Structure 1
Amino acid sequence: MQLANFMISLDDYMLPCLNKKLFGFDCPGCGAQRAISFLLHGEFADAFAMYPAIYTIIPLLGFLLADSFFTIKYANKIIITLMISSVVLILGNYILKFI
């Protein structure tokens, strides 16, 4: 019960986008916090619709953490692939917001 209350209260503490407040349009990172909130609530399709790169950024962060503790074969290739796919998804989503 406390975990559910904690997850619901996270929505009350999301940071506003400074770029959107100052210039009036979204930054490339807009939607990431809400996507994480959707993931925590189990709404996976909504998380993808909000910020598609969330599904490459989370494995990238997990892999970077694992790579710091263990020796992983082909780690550089995996990291580069996850990074490139994250950048492509972030920029693609950002461009689609303006269309």
Structure 2
Amino acid sequence: MLPCLNKQLFGIDCPGCGLQRSVLLLFKGEFVAAFQMYPAIYTLFLLLIFLGSNLIFKFKNAFPIKVGLLIANVVIIVISYILKMNNLLN
């Protein structure tokens, strides 16, 4: 696994910490553990699948779907990061 530069320099997790381990858990078939490691894993995969399929098939309302998926991912990542940092500080 690649080390987190933010964690090495500052000693705290970044919003992306856990993504690599979550993908590894997902490939091993440990779906609940993958979600617990990084809650945005499934919406990120949904976004990647949509973006890839949109390259092949041009969807009529692709832009609002992309924006919605991006906003959902950002919200999930920020909320899970805040909760993770809150648990670390307590």
Please give the TM-score of this superposition, normalised by the length of structure 1: 0.83
Identity of aligned residues (%): 56
Aligned partner of 2:72 in structure 1 is 85
> Any runs of at least 4 consecutive aligned residues in structure 1 with deviations exceeding 4 A, and if so which?
none
Instruction: State the alpha-carbon separation in 2 of the partners of residues 31 and 60 from structure 1.
Output: 18
Pick aligned residue for 1:65 from 44, 52, 67: 52
Please give the TM-score of this superposition, normalised by the length of structure 2: 0.91
1:29 aligns with 2:16: yes
Q: CA-to-partner distance for each residue in 1:40-88, whole Å, 9 max, x for gaps?
A: 0111111111101111111101111111121112111211111011000
Gap regions ≥5 residues in structure 2: none
Aligned residue pairs, count: 86
Instruction: State the alpha-carbon separation in 1 of the partners of residues 81 and 55 from structure 2.
Output: 31
